[in-house]
Structure 1
Amino acid sequence: MNALAAAPLFDALAAFHRDHPHSELEPVEENYDQPVARVRSGSLDVALVGLAGDPPERLTTQVITNDRLIALTPPGSELAHRGRTALADLFEYSVLSLPVGTGIRNVLDQACAALNIDPAVALVATSPDTVAGLARRGPWVAVLGASMADAYPDLAAVPIDGAEIPALLALVWPERTSPALTVFLRHCREAFRGTR
């Protein structure tokens, strides 16, 4: 989870706990498919997930960010001097990405599939900070969402042409909610206001 998502979610959890100190909260971190399936089955009340394109069917969704993919690279690199890259040309470099099952990676894989490109990802890391940290040091180019670029001002953000599927960060929950979930969602809406 990146700082853009973590801080407001932590604020919402804290506000809910202050209002309802006897309610049980159990934050869980999992890849995309697992929390969506668990919300559908009722074993999770709400999930913050990364999505590729459209929100999941039969769930209520609040989109937090709607991003395009970008490449992050040191400012002196050849790619930074180009100023933008086509998706097919991106793989001339050693690409770093988040794991399969995350929203950003799903967008990358789907965009590559639409153009019949083999997404040869050289290295996978589980957090955006790790992906960006590695891009600072090596021959790698990080692929993340555009809203994350401000968190890494020492890296050049290079737009990727041909990756048109949006990467969404969204809260998802069932259409019917409990009173406690309704209150928690109100805190989430307040905490995430202005993060788009």
Structure 2
Amino acid sequence: MELQAIQNKIYEIRGLQVMLDFDLAALYGSETKRLKEAVRRNIRRFPEDFMFELTKAEYEVLRTQFATSNKRGGTRYMPFAFTEQGVAMLSSVLNSEVAIEVNISIMRAFVSVRRYLSETSHHAVKEIEDLKQRMKALEEGSEDAMAAINDLSEDTRKELDDIYLALSQLAGKQKQVTEKACRKPVGFIHYDKKKGE
């Protein structure tokens, strides 16, 4: 049985990784009704952390995620959701060779999903830590720059302000000179020497 196909049938509901009764019935080659009957006959084997029934609201949210939501149509009974432990318990309730083989594949799929989530969260934590270090370095750099500016004496600040003022005045004069040079003479045709006219 293909692992990816099983992984695609694992959903997160109420913060738990679960599989739904109709998906499990299809994997076991059984009817959903028969699977539910077997569970109800052995309900003591399925505490709430092994299996729970979806609410209508949960089912509606989940139905929007199904690619074939029309196929499921309206249902009178809400699906059962089985955690990894609940799926393991199903093999003892169903007690067939097919159920045992399917359960082995399902357990591998749960382990694979758990490993993926663990690795993803580990990478996310590392990236967040890297970002924190970069922010800290930027903050320290900004604090050092501000401290250096604050350490300047009043005379040094005055001299820097004078230099900035002189530079801006020179820039303004240069702009005026450039504008005058670009004016065209009045009263006769001006020939452009670069074009050789």
TM-score normalised according to structure 1 size: 0.24
Larger Rg: 2
Higher fraction of strand? 1
TM-score normalised according to structure 2 size: 0.24
Higher fraction of helix? 2
Higher relative contact order (CA 8 A, sep 6+): 1
